[in-house]
Amino acid sequence: LLETQNRDGGWGHVPSDPSDPISTAYALIAVARTPGARVATARAVRHLLERQRPDGGFTSRPDQAGPRPLAYHVPLLTDVCVLLGLNHARAGLAGP
């Protein structure tokens, strides 16, 4: 997962896709407490904070569930996932 982080600090829906907030949040939840991932975590946090809307929320692409792709878009889901990711990052960056 660390190897698929985009240059802008985020992650896309699949490797090589442009970064988007919900994919970055999912990845951040997974890597934030991983030993050796402090730099990647900080880059992801910066990526998310730079994309926060003036109203405090986040906008992202629709997500999808499988096994047969079913696209869905729940705007609040992006906000929830980003907040979870940032919370994991806070704990991970604080260290043991």
- Average pLDDT over the chain reads 91
Range of the structural domain that residue 55 is part of: 2-94
**pLDDT band at residue 96, thresholds of 50, 70 and 90?**
low
Name the pTM for this structure.
0.87
Tally Cβ neighbours within 10 Å of residue 83. Answer: 13
DSSP letter at 47 equals: H
What proportion of the chain, given as a percentage, has pLDDT over 90?
A: 75
Q: Give the whole-angstrom CA distance, residue 96 versus residue 93.
A: 9
The domain total for the chain is: 1
Q: Is 9 left (phi over 0), alpha (psi -120 to 50) or beta?
A: left
Instruction: Check whether 52 has a pLDDT greater than 80.
Output: yes
- 17 contact partners, CB below 8 Å, separation of at least 6: 23
